[in-house]
Structure 1
């Protein structure tokens, strides 16, 4: 069965280790295409999206091998420029291979990527920015082609600080002729990780962690070994679960420096946060308080990837909360499923109005996407009785083993 079963209502207690970052490792794997040799990537999470990326790299001619949570990519030979099939259709991040392939062989043919229902997420920003670098793009109904004789550096201002489009421009610019300046660039930690990986391989990148990136193209990149940072969204999901369920947990190797917005929110809701060199702890001893208004923003504001999870916690908070979603227009798909569990939530355009209840009721609910699925698990752990979350495969796109991790924290949860 493609489901997760849990009996909720228990306090969470214990500790669990945070996996490597999904959103960091995928563009790094794409970047390995730029290196005519072998790259070793440590702390790589064993999740569905990484396996899809592995399949795509192998289809392009790379050799990819695993050893524990270490993945080795040998991109000495790239003999294919066409990408289609299930891995592209099921994974949005397959678009990251666009900039890398253009940098490596100058030609790409691919079907439009899929993998998400949380919003339109058009790839127009990706294609427009790359076209400024001399790429000729021909779009058809189900696929497109992109060609360039030689990528040229450009001074370009992003109309919106898109993480994916910024990453694609970085990948294309690393081996381009001349200097590329990306203004209004995204500055999420995953952008920093990609830049660190490329710099370790010999790329010339300045302005990391700022909104203006300057990339001077180099002739070639060399082999590199790199450790992926830990996943801030996984850590945030588990921290929010402690808010919803109460208890005392410790998140080993949580990337504290990337969780400031969530930590402040957790404190306002009544969580007692402790931080040390090994990770982050949270103690919740009484019912959490509502947040009058929480707004999702680009980094370093409150992340949209934690909005569904915090909504699940707000559903059992004392008082009334408002969430304003500013990144993706369809992030409220979880609302109907939470209502099945007794949540009092109404939506109006990009706002959700939540009146907290003391306890949700267990129910059979359907995950429709990655973060919403994880949020339903959070809701189920806080609810009275049994909850079944169907479509587990969505959750496995980003969580290595969510059942194992929550069992480490004392939850009664298993694969159905």
Structure 2
């Protein structure tokens, strides 16, 4: 049996919470360390379960990894192994981001197909198409992505969709390719910018950072570096929405508010007062939230990772909300658990229609992924009685010190082992 949370409803969250480094950045930065021989140091790394998992992946490729709180030190070998076919790879999605660095350094890679959250199909077609455009042969064989190339040559690559993972793998392969690579319709998330900034610190030549067109001029070699991981905007957004749901007053520190511009605007539309400052924001909600329509899109749109929290907010808001999911089709599994809590919600294709009620009712619920787990805890905060949230190992993968932070803000939550 997995651990579960007992969440007692009725608390009003208030106080200050500091957000650490982004899960969606640190794992890719750890993979990027493979691009150089020597010692790379990452600071502000989040203390989450996925970081030691990625350390296992890198150690299987010949690296030495030391984790000391929010500091990760990676010593990479002169010639890393190109074969990442072991158990850790299969446990989380981000493990596939070693594909690009291995192709850049070794000109070949065997990477087991990754596991991770149950949020829908996330095929590797664009990853492989990008590598093929650079001159590699790539196929799925015996449950692994198998790629090799005599050399990597710069190319013009247009992505059908601004996929974060494909952008990252193509980018990391291109930095050591011969010539110039242009990636059109590239993802623009702050975590992509963070990766680009670290690669530039290592000696890469990248233009167009933060835009939909990345121009990469390949270099012969990169050098290890020290890098501060960007703050986690999804964790920050979770606390901001929690403040609105509980009619609380929460100050969130650790990210530039422009990384959550649309989310904070939506909270204002729901009736919250939002104060923005250089490295954070404050959300104050006095009255019952108002209904707000939300559609998930790649950055700078509304993050799909905050879609469960948007549904949670809608479930206790005044009026009817329409939530549209444009990124991951299976994210609406969360709605089934919200219905257990009494939410008036139904799905139709890519849409969820939610009619707000005064209060949810406690019930046992199950997490299907990281963000769904956090969303169910937030729902438990606005339910009567004690809500049991099961399979919370998902939450451990994305939210450092989750219950400690929640208690510090006034929430009632207990972790039950096994």
Name the TM tier (shorter chain). Answer: over 0.9
Quick check: 1:61–1:77 contact (8 Å CA) kept in 2?
no
Aligned residues of 2:80 and 2:106 also touching (Cα < 8 A) = no
- Asked if the contact 1:60/1:78 (under 8 Å) is kept, the reply is no
TM-superposed CA distance for 1:278, in Å, is: 4.7
- Aligned partners of 1:100 and 1:408: how far apart in 2? 40
Aligned counterpart, 2:415: 415
The alignment partner of 2:410 has SS state of coil
Q: Distance in 1 between matches of 2:85 and 2:374?
A: 28
- For 1:85 and 1:36, the matched residues in 2 are separated by 23
Q: Alignment partner of 1:330: what SS?
A: helix
Q: Where in structure 2 are the equivalents of 1:7-406 lying within 5 Å?
A: 7-291=8-292, 293-406=293-406
Q: How far apart are residue 276 of structure 1 and its match?
A: 2.5
SS of equivalent to 2:90: helix
CA distance in 1, matches of 2:230, 2:368: 27
TM-score, length-normalised on structure 1? 0.98
Q: CA RMSD in A?
A: 1.1
Query: How far apart, in 2, do the equivalents of 1:399 and 1:269 lie?
Result: 25
CA distance in 1, matches of 2:115, 2:126: 16
Per the TM alignment, residue 68 of structure 1 is displaced from its structure 2 partner at its CA by 2.3
Question: Any conservation in 2 of the 1:38–1:76 contact (CA below 8 Å)?
Answer: no
Residues 151 and 368 of structure 1: CA distance in aligned 2, closer, same or farther (over 3 Å): same
- Provide closer, same or farther for how the CA distance between residues 79 and 157 of structure 1 changes in structure 2, counting only shifts above 3 A: closer
The 8 Å contact of residues 272 and 283 in structure 1, kept in 2 or not, is answered as: yes
The CA distance in 2 between the partners of 1:144 and 1:301, in whole Å, is 31
Instruction: Give CA deviations for 1:188-226 in whole Å, capped at 9, x if unaligned.
Output: 111100000000111000000111100000111112111
Supply the distance in 2 between the matched residues of 1:58 and 1:203 (Cα, whole angstroms): 24
Q: Distance in 2 between matches of 1:346 and 1:106?
A: 48
* TM-score, normalised by the number of residues in structure 2: 0.97
Residues 42 and 309 (structure 1 numbering): CA distance in 2 closer, same or farther, change over 3 Å? same
User: Secondary structure of 1:113's match?
Assistant: coil
CA contact (8 A) 1:4 1:413 kept: yes
For the residues of structure 2 that align with 1:143 and 1:279, how far apart are their CA atoms? Answer: 41
SS at 1:334 equivalent: helix
Query: Paired residues, what number?
Result: 415
The answer to whether the 8 A contact 2:274-2:284 is kept is: yes
Q: Which moved more, 1:135-144 or 1:325-334?
A: 135-144
